[in-house]
Amino acid sequence: MQLRFLGGVGSVTGARMLVEHQKHRVLLDCGLFQGLKRLRLRNRSTLGLPSGSLAAVVLTQAHLFHSGFLPQLVHLGFRGPVFASPGTIELCHLLLPAAARLQEAEAREADRLGYGVHRPALPLFTQDMAGRALEQLQPCEPEAWVDAAPGIQLRLRPAGLALGASSVQLRCGEHSLLYSGALGRRDDALMRPPAPPEGADRLLLDAACGNRSARPSEASARLARLLDRTLARGGSLLLPADAAGPLQQLLCELQRLKSLGRLPGHPVWLDSGTAAQAVALYQNHAEQLQPGIPPGPGLLDGIHVARGNEELMDVVRSGEPVVLIATEGVSHGHAAGRLLRELLPDRRHAVAYTCRPPAGTYGAALLAGEPAIKVQGERVAARAEVAALDGLCGRADRRALLDWVGALPGAPEQLYAVLGEPDAADSLRQAIAERWHWNCTVPEQQEMAHILEAEPETARNQAG
């Protein structure tokens, strides 16, 4: 068996892990990169191997960091099955075409305003490309073993972070591999906890929050105080959140604050009908939600859903203090960019992130205290208040990750810290090495690991 890290290392974005066994290749996740230019350039190149040589793809969730390269992969010649949980498939059918529409719109905007590298500007993928990719999705029920390729079996188990989010177990001959995917927390207010891990020779572990402690109650209190400050000074609060998962946790928290009277009379706007549809999908999967969670429409109770970008911009320009949830590509989407350009120069407003944005993004620059950022070709002064609300996105923090690893029935032969920025991944690596003295590394981009088959017993006896 051979592992090759094609993405999701040194970054929380671009998850792509290649497993090869007896000349059959399976790709675990097929995500887009975001942030630094050297990473984003990979979105417009090949995997570094013929796409048609892949036997199958497995998606752990619908977030574009895990699924967004699939349309390009199919366009480049991949024709095999794409295995995913039913919930992930439902979200992909909604979000991939929506992402394509947004990219096409942003390409047109780039041409009109004269920013961007390409002339004419090119979307990463089109609606036609997304549609062709969706045809190859195949549902894989949780806990059921499936033949992914000759000699390779897979099983999906709940990862707890979002609708359909899964961990992947692989059997490759005498070897086994466990890929955690992006893990949720046991105490999440919305989603049920991830399934406990089962033993494996190799473990690929989520390290996105490997150097952070999530305290949801403190994050909730910070959000409430930020709302009070911002609305009292006549400003609006912008909350970027991805429709594939963190959006639902954020809505759950806003509904809780509303029930406590912390949002009296102030409207909350969601920036797209697609995001509202994603929330509504959750009502079909009550088995993945914590008991007592209202169905999908309950999370949208009293939330205004914009019919388009222009309606949302009219709300912003009206001067009325509002709460705005931007879901189009987290904070690199078309509408989110326009909202940042409108709100950032005004000290009355505020922007808050429930998930730490990757390096090289608008959010990372704002949280680092940059006095101005470049948005869609224009330099924009950052005078608005900027805050981090770690703990409201549902992602497993350092303690939760160590607890999950500690539930393994035995030590893996090798553990790899993936899906994290360098500091987060290395911090988690050190914690695991110090606690259990296991072999744990942070792989590099394109790093390869060869796992040799054991010698047959008869051959060893004859050699002796």
Span 427-448, pLDDT tens digits: 999 999 999 999 999 999 999 9
Q: What is the CATH number of the domain that holds 377?
A: 3.40.50.10890
Q: How far apart are CA 364 and CA 345, in angstroms?
A: 17
Regarding whether 459 and 437 lie in a shared domain, the answer is yes
Q: How far apart are CA 91 and CA 156, in angstroms?
A: 17
49-52 contact pairs (CB < 8 A, 24+): 49/18, 49/25, 50/77, 51/76, 51/77, 51/78, 52/77, 52/78, 52/79
- pLDDT tens for 30-75 read 999 998 999 999 999 999 999 999 999 999 999 999 999 999 999 9
In 3D, which of 224, 235, 244 has the Cα closest to residue 95? 244
Regarding whether 405 and 381 lie in a shared domain, the answer is no
Regarding whether 62 and 152 lie in a shared domain, the answer is yes
Reported as half-sphere exposure (CB side, CA atoms, 13 A), residue 97 has a value of: 12
Q: Which of 365, 388, 411 is the last residue of a domain?
A: 388
Q: What is the CATH number of the domain that holds 26?
A: 3.60.15.10
In the prediction, which pLDDT does 331 show? 36
Q: Which domain covers residue 318, as residue numbers? A: 216-388
Q: How far apart are CA 300 and CA 236, in angstroms?
A: 19
Regarding whether 208 and 100 lie in a shared domain, the answer is yes
In the prediction, which pLDDT does 463 show? 41
Regarding whether 352 and 272 lie in a shared domain, the answer is yes
Regarding whether 257 and 186 lie in a shared domain, the answer is no
Regarding whether 260 and 334 lie in a shared domain, the answer is yes
Q: Which of 342, 363, 388 is the last residue of a domain?
A: 388
In the prediction, which pLDDT does 453 show? 66
Q: Which of 388, 411, 437 is the last residue of a domain?
A: 388
Lowest mean pLDDT segment, chosen from 57-66, 245-254, 412-421: 245-254
Regarding whether 238 and 156 lie in a shared domain, the answer is no
User: Which residues, in sequence order, are bridge partners of residue 179?
Assistant: 168, 204
Describe the chain by its helix, strand, coil percentages, rounded to 5: 35, 20, 45
Count structural domains, the chain.
2
- pLDDT tens for 289-328 read 988 776 556 888 999 998 877 888 899 899 899 999 988 5
Task: Kindly tell me the burial class for residue 410, based on how many C-beta atoms sit within 10 Å of its own C-beta (0-12, 13-18, 19 or more).
Answer: exposed
In the prediction, which pLDDT does 461 show? 43
Q: How far apart are CA 5 and CA 15, in angstroms?
A: 9
Regarding whether 75 and 61 lie in a shared domain, the answer is yes
Regarding whether 414 and 305 lie in a shared domain, the answer is no
Q: How far apart are CA 463 and CA 183, in angstroms?
A: 45
Regarding whether 408 and 354 lie in a shared domain, the answer is no
In the prediction, which pLDDT does 393 show? 87
